[in-house]
Structure 1
């Protein structure tokens, strides 16, 4: 083998275990591609760390490891700490900061035998849905480099979509895995709250954010979650027990699928016809597979969503920015921090209680369906710079909300949601991907992955953008 870019993570690991390709060959190829990155995917390429990981993976291979990710390159998003590597969180205010330890998810991925080749780009503190940090170039989708790879795991999305790696770690606090999945033609899943622990150093907080992956296939997403789903002492949530990859072959019952095409957060948000087509096309496919489709209304309105806004703005205040470096923050971050500092303790407590009540509201509203289907995004991948508005950060935030009127619903209520690249269409002369998003009740991650795998088998998607073929 001379080119591994069309192999999924699970397929690549199988090729390594069979002896078709060596871990050193795979590592060298991934490092070379990452070093020649033209899509703004990487903030640092870590050759020395990658070689250390490769030696550990070779030892595990010799010992008979059957890890489905053994020897697979998997970079880490720069919101997660890796000992000895830059840890700048996409921010000039943290320029020169270096990680002092490995986050728990990094430890789990190394134990699974992955090769940590570097860190991927993120916008400042992962706050916006575009990846255009002041500390580096914007992350671009390989489907049209004039358009954003999304955010905040935009670097991870660009890394996988460009063929540098088959899987990349990401995180999702309001859609930050699913947005780049849609923009880059990939699979991206936010698991249920608590499936992936923030331990041993992090805490759950309001529970908006989940760790996960950007991948080419559903099996790779399942394998990634299996690798990191083991809990840590002191976890608040019970965990999942893993078994995601093994469950993909289990038969599915006939499901009731709710079709949601009305924007939730911004009811008047303009929705591109091809975004709607992504959901409608998926609904037709599900019907052909024997599932029943019925329309469902938004479970709540924009007023109820204000709990997310309060928690999000307070979260922006938690980054320990030295006062003398506040001026280095982007206009959007400063705006959100100002809003968060104005939220009183009782207001935050009320917002979090309201968010918990919304979990019951959503469960009641969608009690008659097993899963809910919607577009992932309201629009195609956004042109670089079209959402960012440093002159009016409030308008910037509103534009992001209109662009992503479905994604943060599931962060707020803790349900799993997955974006699948089931539709493509030509827009302004370029073929672009459009994600369809499926969600399920909390703790039904296995069911959601099995349904996603059924769709992938019925209508496989391309693993590469046309420009890279």
Structure 2
């Protein structure tokens, strides 16, 4: 078995046993990247010399007890790493090389990881697909005519293609879970406040958090532990507000995969009043399979009655557009932005302060209603995506309104989880007739990552989808 065929947990254990070195592991994945990245478009920047130098430093100078010791990753190209081009998926930042690193980058370094480069992202991470004008699209390794999703599309494509064992991503409206589901992977959106350097607490409405993308639930838990506690537990949280429920290590919950839980099943979405939402037959089949498996394992399973939220679409659109208003591009440089980004920026900069304040207040009330609605369940099950992964070029690049509607129709079950601050996990379950994976999403209680990882592990053992590899392997 080649190294990239092994799980991240296997590789981590091999490193700990000194059966290989961080340099050898980095060299293996750099060779994979050199061969496959031109087809997949997963990495925008590859830094082989810096990666091998870093791997040697980790082997020589970093304590092996660090949770990600010697493990290869890539930084999402929304993050700054000192001395490495940081393009944010935009032609406006083609030549930008920062002098300092962002906090999340410093944390993965502290955890002992070895960055091989930057994973591709759409412009400023705004859309749920990774097909910008600044570089080639991130393609789905299961079918290169399909997109990898977004905005952590490059990270997901790299993991699915065996170019990385796992990868950190960020999720402000589904940007970890969407590409993970599209590429047949496990994606974890932690609770708001859980990951200290990617908590969501500094962003508008607290939407964006950092989390892992991996091939297995245990691999995702291993990376999550490294993000939550880079120096090991107890985690050094930096805010008074944090996710309840205690800390990890979360790997234990994923490896054991124990417990019986009460599950709700939800097929309505808060977008239903504003857009035509239809769940594709393949998405429905994945949900039905998951329900059947959980029922067979003895979990309680109950369908949730619909709960219309007609105020959700206008409130969320206001927040999404207002967030784009902070893009650091002005004047003539705005011509370098893509049409969707310009549309969002122009709309966002026209939002009155009163309208923004009202939207924030409405979404705070929505969060309370969602948590109350889910309170009798340990987790709530939904489709991961409403449609099968979309072909490259499917989204309208010019019409902002139509593009936004397409994104909502593809993935109506993700953004409300960010608004609610809840944790969620996507797990692959079935596949289409063409062999493209389809998955489900489990949404947990506040601070309920351990229960989600246990449920995900149980489902994974039943369907064993992680053992299959894309044709590109």
* TM-score bracket, shorter-length normalisation: over 0.9
Query: Would you say the 8 A contact 1:104–1:201 is kept in 2?
Result: no
Q: Tell me, in whole angstroms, the C-alpha distance in 1 between the residues paired with 2:441 and 2:48.
A: 36
Deviation at 1:69, TM superposition (A): 2.7
Q: Tell me, in whole angstroms, the C-alpha distance in 1 between the residues paired with 2:432 and 2:334.
A: 42
Q: Tell me, in whole angstroms, the C-alpha distance in 1 between the residues paired with 2:159 and 2:353.
A: 41
Q: Tell me, in whole angstroms, the C-alpha distance in 2 between the residues paired with 1:250 and 1:44.
A: 37
Asked if 1:445 is matched to 2:445, the reply is no
Cα distance change, pair 251–119 in 1 and its aligned pair in 2 (3 A): closer
Q: Tell me, in whole angstroms, the C-alpha distance in 2 between the residues paired with 1:249 and 1:48.
A: 35
Q: Aligned residue for 1:87?
A: 86
Report the 3-state secondary structure (helix = DSSP H, G, I; strand = E; otherwise coil) of the residue aligned with 1:116: strand
Gaps of 5+ in 1: none
Q: Aligned residue for 1:303?
A: 311
Deviation at 1:234, TM superposition (A): 4.8
Q: Aligned residue for 1:266?
A: 272
Q: Aligned residue for 1:42?
A: 43
Which stretch shifts more, 337-346 or 122-131?
A: 337-346
Deviation at 1:251, TM superposition (A): 6.7
The structure 1 residue matched to 2:402, chosen from 374, 379, 395, is 395
**Any residues of structure 2 matched to 1:108-127 within 5 Å, and which?**
108-127=107-126
Query: Would you say the 8 A contact 2:257–2:453 is kept in 1?
Result: no
Q: Aligned residue for 2:343?
A: 335
Q: CA RMSD in A?
A: 2.0
**Any residues of structure 2 matched to 1:224-263 within 5 Å, and which?**
224-230=223-229, 234-238=238-242, 241-249=247-255, 252-263=258-269
Asked if 1:208 is matched to 2:185, the reply is no
Q: Aligned residue for 1:282?
A: 290
Deviations 1:382-423 (A, max 9, x none): 000102x13312101111111111111101110111110111
Asked if 1:73 is matched to 2:77, the reply is no
Q: Tell me, in whole angstroms, the C-alpha distance in 1 between the residues paired with 2:453 and 2:109.
A: 24
Cα distance change, pair 130–257 in 1 and its aligned pair in 2 (3 A): same
Deviations 1:170-191 (A, max 9, x none): 1001100001011100000111
Q: Tell me, in whole angstroms, the C-alpha distance in 2 between the residues paired with 1:458 and 1:189.
A: 19
Tell me the TM-score normalized by structure 2. 0.93
Q: Aligned residue for 2:353?
A: 345
Q: Tell me, in whole angstroms, the C-alpha distance in 1 between the residues paired with 2:60 and 2:252.
A: 25
Report the 3-state secondary structure (helix = DSSP H, G, I; strand = E; otherwise coil) of the residue aligned with 1:380: coil
Report the 3-state secondary structure (helix = DSSP H, G, I; strand = E; otherwise coil) of the residue aligned with 2:207: coil
Which stretch shifts more, 416-425 or 192-201?
A: 192-201
Which stretch shifts more, 12-21 or 310-319?
A: 12-21
Query: Would you say the 8 A contact 2:73–2:113 is kept in 1?
Result: yes
Q: Tell me, in whole angstroms, the C-alpha distance in 2 between the residues paired with 1:345 and 1:223.
A: 42
Q: Aligned residue for 1:412?
A: 419
Query: Would you say the 8 A contact 2:257–2:458 is kept in 1?
Result: no
Report the 3-state secondary structure (helix = DSSP H, G, I; strand = E; otherwise coil) of the residue aligned with 2:432: strand
Deviation at 1:241, TM superposition (A): 2.9
Q: Tell me, in whole angstroms, the C-alpha distance in 2 between the residues paired with 1:458 and 1:140.
A: 28
Query: Would you say the 8 A contact 1:190–1:417 is kept in 2?
Result: yes
Deviations 1:38-59 (A, max 9, x none): 2010000011221232023212
Deviation at 1:131, TM superposition (A): 0.2
Deviation at 1:435, TM superposition (A): 1.4
Q: Tell me, in whole angstroms, the C-alpha distance in 2 between the residues paired with 1:300 and 1:245.
A: 37
Q: Tell me, in whole angstroms, the C-alpha distance in 1 between the residues paired with 2:277 and 2:201.
A: 35
Q: Aligned residue for 1:465?
A: 469
Q: Tell me, in whole angstroms, the C-alpha distance in 2 between the residues paired with 1:191 and 1:335.
A: 30
